Amino acid sequence: MPHYNCCVPGCTNSFRNASHLHFYRLPKDEFTRKQYKVILKNDSLKLDSTNTRICSDHFEGGEKLSRAHLPTIFPWKKAESTRRQLKRVISFEENLAIQEAKKKKREEKKDMAQASVTVEHENNRETQTSLTGLEIETMLKELQKLKKDISELTNEKNQLLEKNAKLSEENANLLEANLKLEQETKRLRHSLENFRFDIEKYKDNAEDIAFYTGLPDYNALLICFDMVKDAAEHIEYEHERTHPGIQCGRPRCLTKFQEFTLTLVRLRLGLLEKDLAHRFSVSRPLVSKVSRAWTRFLRGQFEPLITIPPREVLKLYMPDIFKSFYPDCVIIVDCTEFEMEKPSALNSQSACYSSYKSRTTMKALLGITPSGALCFVSELFPGSTSDKEITAQSGLLDKLQPYDQVMADKGFNCTDELASVGAELIRPAFLVKDTQFSKEETNHNKIVASLRVHVERLMERIKNWHIFDHRIPITLAPIASDIASIKQ
């Protein structure tokens, strides 16, 4: 079948959707073609093309009758509407006769109605006059019975009204109870949707308290919080407007105890800020701001507790082995390193690179008393800093007195620095020229090694806080020293 489309503007007929129609060519006669061009109103019409076709829908009767038969049906023409035919009106005489007939019928109906009323009235009068005494007495009995029935129905109605009132009262009580249940349901749903981690849930389980906070039990947690509770009212958060005696901004989402718990959980378990935000139903930036502020605050509160006790106290609690061999030993020191992210700046990479660990680290100097109590924590230094430089810059020398003894590892070469304040360094002996140690040197090395194991245990205890399980992010570098101090 040839593939043709109708050339009339606005007509969508084609061989695809109207295959039942005929598609006619334009006549070859020039005059007729000009008429087509005027009728079709198509400026782009190709009169000479054999593919220019017009469908049979545009011809009256649906068919082209002759070559001179022009199309007359187009989309832009309105369909001719048939003219309404007027009905013939009856004459005046006929209308008058109809009206008279209707009037006569109305009068006949009225007379018949009056006659029926008169007959019924006469029948009632005859019935009333023909009633006997017996019939009257029967009617009175029926009337009394009807009154009795009406009374019973009235009583039943009153009883039903009372029952209805009771039911209405019960319904009101049920509606009130239902409203309370709906409110309680909403409250519970809101609590469930906004559930927050609560450490009080584990207050009876010391193992869980130690797992989440690093403290031995719930009482120890409360004691630590009570020590800082008053000062925590004036804690300073980052980018927060503060005025003396005035609380600015919206109320805080978390209580001080919840913020304290959040910070301990962050340090103990090393949880990511996003995880803590979900646990405490707050935003991630709030977790970051709270944990940073509380970390700096807790270091300021607890750092004064980390100090070398008076020499009398040290000797009172000193183990016997120290009293026998090193009675003047006041501190056992060692350095530990924490891996950190590699800085982008080359000079920072060089400063933080540790040749001992072969990666970028932060380094701290730790010290314990002979009885095993922590007594010194330095700031964190870049990993390339030597033990000697850390000892000089950490402030340890200012805490020592003349004739104090400091026990350290073999690589801790700070004899001159300690001698500058009158202190003595105790460390394992070096093998210089001889082929083996003497008996005294061997015994000395064994004793020092056995006593230094306590500081190694302290470092292990520090690294049990999982905040340092991974590399220290660059974003935590400003508070890394605060974290190390709190974890002690």
Position 127 pLDDT exceeds 80: no
* pLDDT above 70 for 1: no
Tell me the average pLDDT across 430-442. 77
Buried b vs exposed e over 458-476: b needs ≥16 C-beta within 10 Å?
Answer: beeebeebebbeeebeeeb
pLDDT tops 70 at residue 126: no
pLDDT above 90: residue 360: yes
How much is the pLDDT for 29?
84
**So what CATH class is 306-486?**
alpha beta
Is residue 20 predicted with pLDDT exceeding 60?
Answer: yes
Domain ranges of the chain: 1-76, 151-193, 202-238+253-304, 306-486
Per-residue pLDDT, averaged over 432-437, amounts to 71
Average pLDDT over residues 357-362: 92
Better-predicted residue by pLDDT, 113 or 285: 285
Stretch 434-454: mean pLDDT, rounded? 81
Q: Give the confidence band of 310 by pLDDT, cuts at 50, 70, 90.
A: very high
364 three-class SS:
strand
Across the chain, mean pLDDT equals 83
| pLDDT value at 247 more than 60 | no
For residue 359, what pLDDT band results from cuts at 50, 70 and 90?
A: very high
Which range is least confidently modeled, 18-32, 97-111, 204-218, 328-342?
97-111
Per-residue pLDDT at 268 exceeds 70: yes
Q: Which of 98-107, 179-188, 345-354 has the highest mean pLDDT?
A: 345-354
Given a cut of 70, whether residue 484 has pLDDT beyond it is yes
pLDDT number for residue 219: 93
Task: State residue 80's pLDDT score.
Answer: 58
- Residue 226, pLDDT above cutoff 90: yes
Given pLDDT bands bounded at 50, 70 and 90, which one contains residue 194? low
Q: Which two tokens stand for residue 38?
A: 């005027």
DSSP, residue by residue, 210-246: HHHHSSSSHHHHHHHHHHHHHHHTT---TT---BTTB
pLDDT at 248 over 80: no
Stretch 262-289: mean pLDDT, rounded? 90
pLDDT, position 78: 65
Confidence of residue 131 (pLDDT cuts 50, 70, 90): low
Question: In the prediction, which pLDDT does 261 show?
Answer: 92
Express as a percent the part of the chain with pLDDT over 70. Answer: 88
Nearest CA to 406 out of 419, 393, 395 is that of 419
Quick one: pLDDT band at residue 123, thresholds 50, 70, 90? low
Q: What is the pLDDT of residue 262?
A: 92
pLDDT digits (tens, 9 = 90+) for 49-98: 888 888 988 888 888 888 888 888 888 876 555 566 555 556 677 777 78
Is 36's pLDDT higher than 90? no
Confidence of residue 223 (pLDDT cuts 50, 70, 90): very high
Among 103-112, 299-308, 358-367, 376-385, the minimum mean pLDDT is found in 103-112
* Helix, strand, coil % over all residues of the chain, rounded to 5: 55, 10, 35
Percent of all residues in the chain with a pLDDT value above 90, rounded to a whole number: 24
Residue-level pLDDT at 113:
72
Q: What's the whole-number mean pLDDT along residues 101-109?
A: 81
pLDDT at 21 > cutoff 70: yes
Convert the pLDDT of each residue in 446-470 to its tens digit: 888 888 887 777 777 776 777 877 8
- Position with higher pLDDT, 292 vs 100: 292
Q: Is the pLDDT of residue 128 over 60?
A: no
DSSP state of 50: T
Report which of residues 242 and 186 the model is more confident about. Answer: 186
pLDDT of residue 208: 92
